[in-house]
Structure 1
Amino acid sequence: MLKGYGAVILDGAWLTLQLALSSMALAIVLGLLGVALRLSPVRWLAWLGDVYATVIRGIPDLVLILLIFYGGQDIINRVAPLVGYDDYIDLNPLLAGIFTLGFIFGAYLSETFRGAFMAIPKGQAEAGMAYGMSSLQVFFRVLVPQMIRLAIPGVTNNWLVLTKATALISVVGLQDMMFKAKQAADATREPFTFFLAVAAMYLVITSVSLLLLRAVEKRYSVGIKAAEL
């Protein structure tokens, strides 16, 4: 059915999954840092967090991917000779893709986390401070555990969008399943067959992800539902 390209596209699917998981891990870290800045009582830190979330969410993903990959490569190759490195530096498409998607979706997750934090009663933080905790201890030991349950639906949505956005990284030469499908389609002149196969693979990834994340959400909601009853 896939004219012998099935194994090749599966290899690309594995690379796509690696890209998605690594990017999401980075996005979660940046999202937490971003929301910490946005909720900071220090005005310039809060402003910095707001600028990050607003600017990145306002620029199309493809534009950012091209800017970071090609612009970043140009900057690196301009700076390298200044520190004594004269060879041309090629950015690794996978690492560039992870950084770019992580950076983009970190901004989206900072908004998701901000909404979750805002839903936590202020008395929780005040109780932690009264107990003698520092601001960082209150943030990570009191607020973050409660925020996770409230943020899971938003994180799930961002994960689904990020997974589909991995297809954009093929434009910078990453040989993911979209790249491999395009090569196969060009070689066989059967684009519908291969792009339909890729669409099915993305659907499998997102469907399995939904099942797993719903199980996580259900697990985190057990105590809350019991208390409500």
Structure 2
Amino acid sequence: MVTVALTLATLPVGLILGFVLSLARQSGDPLVRLSARIYATIFRGVPELLTLFVVYYGSQYLVTAVSTALFGVPLEVSPFFAGMVALGLVMASYASEVFLAAFRAIAAGQYEAGRALGLQKGKIMRLIILPQLIRLALPGLSNLWLSLMKDTALVSVITLNDLLRQTQVAVSSTRQPFFFYLVACLIYLGLSLLSSIAIGQTRRWASRGMVTR
């Protein structure tokens, strides 16, 4: 299913870029911090649909112009790729806030303990900080996953044959909008339910060995 494939393809883009942005927000360089803050403000402030249009049509224009100039043949941008990039950029802006809040919830003593043990920055991050960061960020990231899965419905406007577009085609052919839109709702609901179960399992896995008070 295109909807699931697009969600899975977009997730790592949003998470990796969001993590990098959260590190940039904590950088000692004011320019880096400002750049990351501006990025987050822009992509959280602009509607996802407009971002999708700008990325799709903008990249289409750029790729066509460059490929025509270099090879004499106009190339096209895949709607799937454009949707993945656009939704990934938007998700990253929200994921950066989740990661940033998780970083701030980790006591500074954790870093000091790592340095006291003679660990390098990379090992402190990998062995001490990241396990806690994942556990703290999971609730927020879980909500982002569910939102992302629903936002994939937007890609139907750039002709990607996702669940919503297939539903619209079925409605046009049969003139039964209530039935097919209801089926689409039930499919999205089923995907959300399966996601919630998987998220619950992931949270339990991430909380192994943690002492609750």
Aligned match of 2:109 in 98, 114, 123?
123
What SS is found at the alignment partner of 2:76? coil
Alpha-carbon distance change, 42 to 30 in structure 1, aligned in 2, over 3 angstroms: same
Aligned residue in 2 for 1:3: none
CA distance in 2, matches of 1:73, 1:142: 43
Aligned residue in 2 for 1:45: 32
Aligned residues: 213
Which stretches of structure 1, 4 residues or longer, exceed 6 Å deviation after superposition?
A: none
Aligned match of 2:16 in 10, 29, 36?
29
Residue type of the alignment partner of 2:112: E
Structure 1, gaps ≥5 residues long? 1-13
Q: Does the Cα contact within 8 Å between 2:18 and 2:96 map onto a contact in 1?
A: yes
Task: Report the CA distance between 1:139 and its aligned residue.
Answer: 2.9
Aligned match of 1:186 in 169, 172, 192?
172
| 2:58 pairs with 1:58 | no
Alpha-carbon distance change, 97 to 108 in structure 1, aligned in 2, over 3 angstroms: same
Aligned match of 1:219 in 196, 205, 211?
205
TM-score (norm 2): 0.94
Residue type of the alignment partner of 1:144: L
What SS is found at the alignment partner of 2:77? coil
Task: Report the CA distance between 1:115 and its aligned residue.
Answer: 0.5
CA RMSD in angstroms comes to 1.5
Task: Report the CA distance between 1:86 and its aligned residue.
Answer: 2.1
TM-score (norm 1): 0.88
Structure 2, gaps ≥5 residues long? none
CA distance in 2, matches of 1:59, 1:130: 45
CA distance in 2, matches of 1:58, 1:130: 42
Percent identity of equivalent pairs: 33
CA distance in 2, matches of 1:162, 1:194: 22
Aligned match of 2:158 in 172, 185, 188?
172
Residue type of the alignment partner of 2:5: Q
Aligned residue in 1 for 2:184: 198
Q: Does the Cα contact within 8 Å between 2:63 and 2:76 map onto a contact in 1?
A: no
Q: Which has the higher contact order (CA 8 A, sep 6+)?
A: 1
Aligned residue in 2 for 1:6: none
What SS is found at the alignment partner of 2:209? helix
What SS is found at the alignment partner of 1:222? coil
